[in-house]
Amino acid sequence: MERALIILKPDAVQRGLVGPILTRLEQRGLKLQGLKLMQVDEALARRHYAEHEGKGFFASLVSYITSAPVVVAVVAGKPGTVEMIRTMVGATNPAKAAPGTIRGDFGVEVGRNLIHASDSPESGERETALFFQAEELIAEWSRVTDPWIYE
């Protein structure tokens, strides 16, 4: 199974969009392996956004992600899952995101774009390890709907 880390950012939590966004992921057939509400501290935010350190927007990323609670989730599916999730999420700039995507339907500005999704299977594994301990994940469990989702 391929997995991705999803972060429903402070704007998604504050606007009451956690349920609708998670519903879209589940309705698509993705399987939850971990889910929690948390307050991201500065050290974790800096590790998560390390690839952006030194860029002009780094400080605002850290400040924003630590400003209020977030919901983090690990979702899994067959190979290609990360790419599928990225398509569902839409362009980083919600003004350019296609209608029907999460950002296209709910977002307005880049700085309030609701959701983070891993950009590769490797990032999914690295980011999952930042936010979840192994014992917090339920990687292997069966749903009665799985045969109706996967061939």
For residue 148, tell me if it sits in a domain.
no
Known active-site residue 116: yes
For residue 57, tell me if it sits in a domain.
no
Measured torsion, CA atoms of residues 59, 60, 62, 64, in degrees rounded to the nearest 10: 160
For residue 95, tell me if it sits in a domain.
yes
For residue 64, tell me if it sits in a domain.
no
Q: In the chain, what percentage of residues exceed pLDDT 90?
A: 91
For residue 88, tell me if it sits in a domain.
yes
For residue 56, tell me if it sits in a domain.
no
The pLDDT of residue 31 is 95
For residue 42, tell me if it sits in a domain.
no
Residues 128-142 pLDDT 10s: 999 999 999 998 898
pLDDT at 151 over 90: no
**Domain coverage including residue 132:** 2-37+70-139
Q: In the chain, what percentage of residues exceed pLDDT 70?
A: 100
Count of domains in the chain? 1
The pLDDT of residue 2 is 95
- Per DSSP, 94 falls in state G
Catalytic residue among 9, 70, 116, 118: 116
Cα distance between residue 32 and residue 137, in whole Å? 9
DSSP for the chain reads -EEEEEEE-HHHHHTT-HHHHHHHHHHTT-EEEEEEEE---HHHHHHHTGGGTTSTTHHHHHHHHTSS-EEEEEEEESTTHHHHHHHHH--SSGGGSPTTSHHHHH---GGG--EEE-SSHHHHHHHHHHH--GGG-------TTHHHH--
For residue 119, tell me if it sits in a domain.
yes
Please state whether 39 falls in left (phi above 0), alpha (psi between -120 and 50) or beta: beta
CATH of the domain at 104: 3.30.70.141
pTM for this predicted structure: 0.94
- Taking residues 25-36, what's their average pLDDT? 96
Residues 40-65 pLDDT 10s: 999 999 999 999 999 989 999 999 99
pLDDT at 17 over 90: yes
